[in-house]
């Protein structure tokens, strides 16, 4: 009886193995993303927000620059006295407009940009250089973005200038 049971058991295990190989879902690495959630498309959209974050930071395009931010964005930076200053979108943009209104030549550039993508969220960290009349002030920048009905928006900003 043993001699006939082994071939049957071996055949059964072979059939189970074949079934598992063909019935198992593809691994996540080979499964294409669901419609509307393409990682490449999301990354391209975040890259565009980052390009606009720098490219629209001018006196003449500051109102378009404002649209990159969610209306409830929180902008935070540590102060010299040890406190943490937070600003609303209106406070933050007004401060930028007032600075541009002085007529000073100001701009900003980002270096060492790192973007970490999640499901409809992204985290950006970078070194920034704020340029005021040719004088450069370096610092660190962190942005959090989320994808909503209106596309990708910056929902949180954290920055600090490097120690002098």
Map out the domains of the chain as residue ranges.
39-161
User: What is the model's pLDDT at position 52?
Assistant: 96
Q: Which of 144, 129, 147, 152 is nearest to 52 (CA)?
A: 152
pLDDT tens sequence across 79-134: 999 999 999 999 999 999 999 999 999 999 999 999 999 999 999 999 999 999 99
Q: How many C-beta neighbours within 10 Å does residue 154 have?
A: 20
Q: How far is CA 11 from CA 2, 19, 21, 23, 24, in A?
A: 14, 12, 15, 18, 20
**Quick check: 125 and 146 in contact, CB under 8 A?**
no
User: What's the sign of the alpha-carbon dihedral 112, 90, 162, 131?
Assistant: positive
What pTM does this model have?
0.75
Alpha carbon 56 to its chain centroid, in Å, reads 18
pLDDT tens sequence across 40-57: 899 999 999 999 999 999
39-161 CATH fold: Nuclear Transport Factor 2; Chain: A, (3.10.450)
């Amino acid at each position: 009886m043993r001699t006939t049971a082994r071939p049957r058991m071996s055949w059964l295990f072979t059939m189970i193995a074949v079934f598992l190989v063909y019935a198992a879902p593809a691994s996540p690495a080979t499964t294409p993303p669901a419609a509307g959630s393409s990682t490449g498309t999301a990354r391209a959209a975040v890259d565009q927000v980052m390009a606009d974050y720098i490219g629209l930071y001018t006196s003449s395009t500051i109102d378009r620059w404002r649209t990159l931010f969610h209306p409830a964005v929180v902008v935070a930076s540590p102060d010299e006295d040890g406190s943490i200053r937070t600003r609303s979108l209106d406070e933050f943009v007004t401060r930028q407009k007032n600075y541009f209104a002085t007529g000073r030549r100001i701009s900003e550039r980002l270096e060492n940009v790192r973007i970490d993508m999640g499901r409809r969220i992204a985290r950006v960290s970078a070194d920034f250089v704020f340029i005021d009349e040719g004088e450069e002030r370096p610092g660190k920048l962190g942005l959090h973005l989320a994808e909503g009905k209106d596309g990708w928006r910056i929902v949180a900003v954290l920055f600090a200038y490097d120690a002098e």
